[in-house]
Chains A and B, each alone.
Chain A
Amino acid sequence: MAGRVLNGIWKLFTSLELGVVLVVILTAFMVVGALLPQGMDDEFYLKAWDEGTYHALRDLGFLDIFHRPLFLIPAVLLGLNLLCCSIDILRNFLPKTITARYVVSALYHLALVGMFVGFLATYLFSYGGELIIKPGESVHVPLKKGETAWARLAPRLGLAAPVNEDTPYELHLKSFETTYVEKDGRIFIKDWISDLEVVDGGAVVAAKRIEVNDPLVYGGMKYYQAFFDQKMKFDVDGEEQELGPGEPLAVGDEMLMVSTVKSGTLLGDDGPTPLGPYVELKEMSKDKWHRVTKDVRPGRRLDRGQPVDVGTCRVTFVSFEESSGLTYKRDPAVKFLWVLWITFTALIAVRIYVQESVLTWFRKEG
């Protein structure tokens, strides 16, 4: 009886049809996840929808669908389906005939199973965060081990949960620079560069000038150049206003958009030259739903310390403070996933692109 049940379960999990059905179910949930913004705060949703719609969608789990059993259960079942199919392929073909085609097929299915395990490891163990550092500043990085899915799960399994702690070393930002290029009279950001040092026990143990797409790796942690932060001070007719990026400036009765501060190095054909600091003032631009939109047209230039008349008011861009925005992340599964991704892609390409005659060349008759 038990044997028959197990046999039935095995048959179910080795069936191609189950795989197709599970992929279709997961796809349907992914469509929902793609069309409904995921994991935002209440305020975000309530701006777009009425309360009833929001609560209905939230209660159905549609606003955090990728972390809900609704999605995770079919995903795990698909992983099991893939594992069983891979074992079945190997089991059926090992004793009699081994063709390279079937070995390749079993291996890329197994690589896909491994990727599922890797995704699970990322979900359970990865942690990270954001840092805003001013040039010259040093910080201990908070390791948010206590905020991982594993930290929530471990106590339920009777295991000790990891706790938050700070890195024993300090991260020091020597300097932060923005580079620009000019195209058709307009200035565009080329890159953000942070000159970072890792200081442990008073000694510099690692250093790198990081930029977008080129992180610093130290102690299993990766530090990425992600964004920048600016605080600007303006004087409008003797009244001081402090603004962050995207915040409007009140000039008389008008609210004006302020661009980010352009300050750094302009990379031109004649070599690097200093740029700014200056900002541009623009009229508030809104779309048909009256939402403030980004206006790419050049505005009125305000150099630091040089007052200009805007309407009846005298506006001065007084000063600014700039910080580097870093994200950091530790994900123990990433290297494992890289290997599996390359294996999977290479094997699936071999399986499809290499002629069957070449693959069957490795055939062994049992």
Chain B
Amino acid sequence: MLSAVDQGIYIALIPLYGFLAVTHVLRRNGIPQLSWAVLFLNTALIILRWVEVGRTPFSTLYECLSLFAWSGALAYLLVQRFGGEKVRWSGVVLFAMMAAAMAYGATRDPTVKPLSPALDSIWFEVHVIPAFASYALFVAAFAYAFEYLGTGARRERLDFFSRKLILFSFPLLSFGVFSGAGWAEEAWGTYWSWDPKETASLVTWCVYLAYIHASRSPRFARVPSRVLNIIGFVSMMFTFLGFNVVAKLLGLPTAHAYT
């Protein structure tokens, strides 16, 4: 029963996130009340899944994509609420991505499975929650970066928002990467084994590190730092999702693939 409700909400969220993207095309900031209502529904989905699986529901791709959509939308709506900047294209990009994430998640196996022995640890939450919080903020930062491609006049202001979001999320990403290393040390005795997914996460960390420094350099502050912002987003998405596909296609040996 719970499983059917869970899957029903999951599928319903695809057109709802899509509709939020459309509301942003029609009007700056979309319809905030509606955006919050959809976020509330996604929150309910996560809680329901939590009850259903009896542990934090962040282990399979089906679960992680729902968390990704939720955290990305939350980060965006909080910035929209407290930042006071009216945006259009960032909302379109963000909610379209969330709809796509949920659509991809809906194709994955929703069966509830117990955690594998390696994942059954307190490190699971310690590692996953900050990493996802940082992903969410990077998505929002990218969405703001996307906005100024079309609005030259407000570029500095949107650049400022994007930089602040990345600065805010960088310690979380650092914590996510280093706690992953700490967990690997506890579980396998090697804190870093250059596994492709580990390397991809380090690439993301390095790109955002370069972005933070480049955005303070007089020579790199404008175009190079904006390019790094976009590369950072692509790298983050690759670490989270693209890697799974590439690892399967290239037959890369990894201990970190999603089921």
Residues of A within 8 A of B (CB): 16-17, 19-20, 23-24, 26-27, 30-31, 33-35, 37-40, 48, 66, 119, 122, 128, 181, 183-184, 188-192, 211-215, 222, 224, 226, 291, 327-329, 331, 334, 337-338, 341, 344-345, 348-349, 352-353
Contact between B171 and A215, CB atoms less than 8 A apart? no
A189: which of B116, B196, B203 is its contact (CB, 8 Å)? B116
Contact between A191 and B120, CB atoms less than 8 A apart? yes
Contact between B217 and A20, CB atoms less than 8 A apart? yes
Contact between A213 and B253, CB atoms less than 8 A apart? no
Contact between A30 and B199, CB atoms less than 8 A apart? yes
Contact between A183 and B174, CB atoms less than 8 A apart? no
Residues on B with beta carbons closer than 8 Å to the beta carbon of A338: 182
Contact between B117 and A212, CB atoms less than 8 A apart? yes
* CA–CA, A284 and B220, complex, Å: 56
> What is the chain A residue whose CB lies nearest that of B123?
A213
* CA–CA, A189 and B114, complex, Å: 8
For this complex, 18 residue pairs linking A to B, each with C-beta atoms less than 8 Å apart, are A17-B220, A19-B210, A27-B206, A30-B200, A30-B203, A34-B196, A39-B194, A48-B251, A188-B114, A189-B116, A212-B117, A212-B187, A213-B186, A213-B187, A222-B189, A329-B190, A348-B170, A353-B171
**Most central of B189, B203, B213, B214 by chain A CB within 10 Å:** B189
In the complex, chain B residues 166-184 whose Cβ is within 8 Å of any chain A Cβ: 167-168, 170-171, 174-175, 178, 181-183
Interface of B is mostly: helix
Residues on A with beta carbons closer than 8 Å to the beta carbon of B186: 213-215
Contact between A212 and B217, CB atoms less than 8 A apart? no
Residues on A with beta carbons closer than 8 Å to the beta carbon of B5: none
B217: which of A17, A211, A341 is its contact (CB, 8 Å)? A17
Contact between A128 and B206, CB atoms less than 8 A apart? no
Residues on B with beta carbons closer than 8 Å to the beta carbon of A337: 191
B250 within 8 A of A: yes
Tell me how far the C-beta of A122 lies from the nearest C-beta in chain B, rounded to whole angstroms: 8
- B-side interface size class: 35 or more
B112 within 8 A of A: yes
Residues of B within 8 A of A (CB): 111-114, 116-118, 120-121, 123, 167-168, 170-171, 174-175, 178, 181-183, 185-192, 194, 196-197, 199-200, 202-203, 206-207, 209-210, 213-214, 216-217, 219-220, 224, 243, 246, 250-253
Tell me how far the C-beta of A27 lies from the nearest C-beta in chain B, rounded to whole angstroms: 5
Contact between A128 and B189, CB atoms less than 8 A apart? yes
Contact between B171 and A348, CB atoms less than 8 A apart? yes
Contact between B194 and A38, CB atoms less than 8 A apart? yes
A20: which of B175, B189, B200, B213 is its contact (CB, 8 Å)? B213
B113: which of A40, A122, A188 is its contact (CB, 8 Å)? A188
Given contacts A23-B206, A24-B210, A27-B207, contact A191 B182 (CB under 8 A): no
* CA–CA, A212 and B123, complex, Å: 12
Residues on B with beta carbons closer than 8 Å to the beta carbon of A122: 191-192
**Most central of B113, B187, B191, B224 by chain A CB within 10 Å:** B191
* CA–CA, A292 and B202, complex, Å: 32
Contact between A191 and B112, CB atoms less than 8 A apart? no
A328: which of B185, B189, B203, B250 is its contact (CB, 8 Å)? B189
Residues on B with beta carbons closer than 8 Å to the beta carbon of A334: 185, 191
